[in-house]
Amino acid sequence: MPGWFMTKGDDVTDLVDELEWRGLIAQSSGLDALREALASGPITYYCGFDPTAPSLHHGHLVQLILLRHLQLAGNNPIALVGGATGMIGDPRMSGERTLNPKEVVAEWTDRLRAQIEPFLSFEGENAARMVNNLDWTGELSAIDLLRDIGKHFRLGTMLAKDTVARRLESEEGMSFTEFSYSLLQANDYRELHRRYGCALQTGGNDQWGNLVAGLDLIRKADGDSVHVLTTPLITKSDGTKFGKTEGGAVWLAPDMMSPYEFFQFWLNTDDADVVGYLKTFTFLSREEIGRLETAVAEAPFRREAQRALAREVTTLVHGADATAGVEAAAAVLFGSNDPREVDASALADAVAHLESGTVTVGETSMVDLIIAVGMEDGRSAARRMIKDGGAYLNNVKIVDEDAVLAETDLIGGQFVLVRRGKKKLAVGRIG
């Protein structure tokens, strides 16, 4: 049923209408023409991801979700990892990019491929393709670039791009290397159009100029009409930029942002933003999102919508098992569950930010433990804390101040969880 879309539930609607409702469309080369192409489809479409970092982030997540929506509607996706364009990098508003060594770009290309794969199906009638633009750009000579591609570009148009104009007005200016980036991206679209009949390119709204360059190149060089579509920059309700944390970007790679941190980022979404994020970042049905919107209005303290958002997005990026581990770890930190019964790595991520101290199995007493993790400064105060019933080891009340830390107390053989009252937490780590 090309041109139509189904979500988690019974909703069936026009695909373009669905994407607009979910806030996934900013600009296009013509929505009516795209709607007609999708209705008579399926069509082949692509989005490119440059390995200018070792991980994708929340901005790329919007593109991955759009790719998935289009595939679920029966269209044929191509995910391009820019092994060639990643050696240059799309021009930024400020400052020339550092050119990474080829070996680093190759390593990051493999990492990005692995992050993209779970979002798409590579089986069935509309199986996804994964391509690397180094396969054709690496064979492109300077003469071919200038004669076959460069002749179709006009300097006036290229200089008018906002990023280029701002950089040229700055003291640093812009190198020819970055200036030529749009030629390479445009050629990617032409190459995919020629090889696979690709007729739609998607990207972030900041990529509009590059996307249109590809559309124009195909029209001028091949005489064909194709489409481009951008997603909007996701912002908060107060207009500020979305996706920054104390540690920087919201990375999709678990070794750069743990699943626990990732889950907590979404869980901390403001009430004013959560419904919009549910539309954009999840595949929940309109009916379910409507129900959660009502929950936000009537019982915001329950944070049901935020929990649904965090669960859905974490599962999408890290998988159901990782999400279950994260929620179990959270239940330990904010409840009375036995921490030794949950995944140790998930709990380790959850307690990474807590104050900690060094302890020794068979030597550290409960009094010493409380002092070591900074709960109290002296032995008398530590004893008083235990006597008053406010000290907990692994969520179990400490009753014997002379008891010594045992091997069986350790979580994953690495640490123990110490609690004061209901909220103050710390970690004792094996030295």
Same domain, residue pair 118 and 250: no
3 state SS of 420 = strand
Task: Examine the domain organization and report whether 253 and 386 are in the same domain.
Answer: no
Q: Residue 426 is inside which H or E element, if any?
A: strand 424-430
CA–CA separation, 85 and 107 (whole Å): 14
d(CA 259, CA 210): 33
154 assigned to some structural domain: yes
Decide if pLDDT at 1 tops 50: no
The whole-angstrom distance between residue 76's C-alpha and the CA centroid of its chain comes to: 22
Is the residue at 210 inside a domain?
yes
The packing angle between helices 304-318 and 320-333, to 10°, is: 140
pLDDT band per the 50, 70, 90 thresholds, residue 10: very low
Domain boundary among 198, 231, 264: 231
* CATH number for position 288: 1.10.240.10
CA distance 234 to 65: 13
For the chain, the domain total comes to: 3
Q: Provide the pLDDT confidence category of residue 247 given band limits of 50, 70 and 90.
A: low
- Give 235's DSSP letter: B
Q: Given 180, 199, 231, which residue is the final one in a domain?
A: 231
- Which value, to the nearest 10 degrees, does the dihedral of the CA atoms of residues 311, 313, 314, 317 take? 150
Assess whether 60 and 148 both reside in one domain: yes
Q: Do 175 and 282 belong together in one domain?
A: no
Task: Please determine, for residue 67, whether its predicted confidence score (pLDDT) is greater than 60.
Answer: yes
Task: From 310, 341, 372, give the residue that closes a domain.
Answer: 341
Q: Are residues 19 and 43 in the same domain?
A: yes
pLDDT per position as a tens digit, 146-178: 889 988 888 878 777 778 778 778 777 878 888
Structure tokens at 43: 């069509």
Residue 386 has pLDDT above 80, yes or no: yes
What pLDDT digit, counting tens, does each position of 23-46 carry? 999 999 999 999 999 998 899 999
The reply to whether 11 and 153 lie within a common domain is: yes
Query: Is 257 found in the same domain as 216?
Result: no
The pLDDT assigned to 299 comes to 96
Q: In angstroms, rounded to a whole number, what is the distance separating the alpha carbons of residues 111 and 120?
A: 16
For residue 54, being part of any structural domain is answered with yes
Residue 239 lies in a domain: no
For residue 295, pLDDT over 90 is answered with: yes
Report yes or no on 24 lying in a domain: yes
pLDDT-based confidence at residue 243 (cuts at 50, 70, 90): confident
Whether 291 and 426 map to the same domain: the answer is: no
CATH at residue 372: 3.10.290.10
- Confirm whether 259 is domain-assigned: yes
Which pLDDT score, from 0 to 100, does residue 245 have? 66
Domain that holds residue 364: 356-430
Residue 257: pLDDT over 90: yes
Residues 130 and 178 in one domain: yes
CATH number of the structural domain spanning residue 94: 3.40.50.620
| E-state strands within 225-307 | 227-231, 244-245, 248-249
State whether 267 and 223 are in the same domain: no
Predicted confidence (pLDDT) at residue 397 exceeds the cutoff of 70:
yes
Report the alpha-carbon distance of residue 236 to residue 269 in Å, rounded: 9
Q: Is residue 236 part of a domain?
A: no
Q: Is residue 351 part of a domain?
A: no
What is this structure's pTM?
A: 0.87
Residue pair 369/419 in contact (Cβ under 8 Å)? The answer is no
Residue 113 and residue 198 in one domain? yes
pLDDT tens-digit map of 84-118: 999 988 877 777 788 899 999 999 999 999 999 99
Q: pLDDT tens digits, residue range 339-378?
A: 888 888 889 888 888 899 999 999 999 999 999 999 998 9
**96 and 32, same structural domain?**
yes
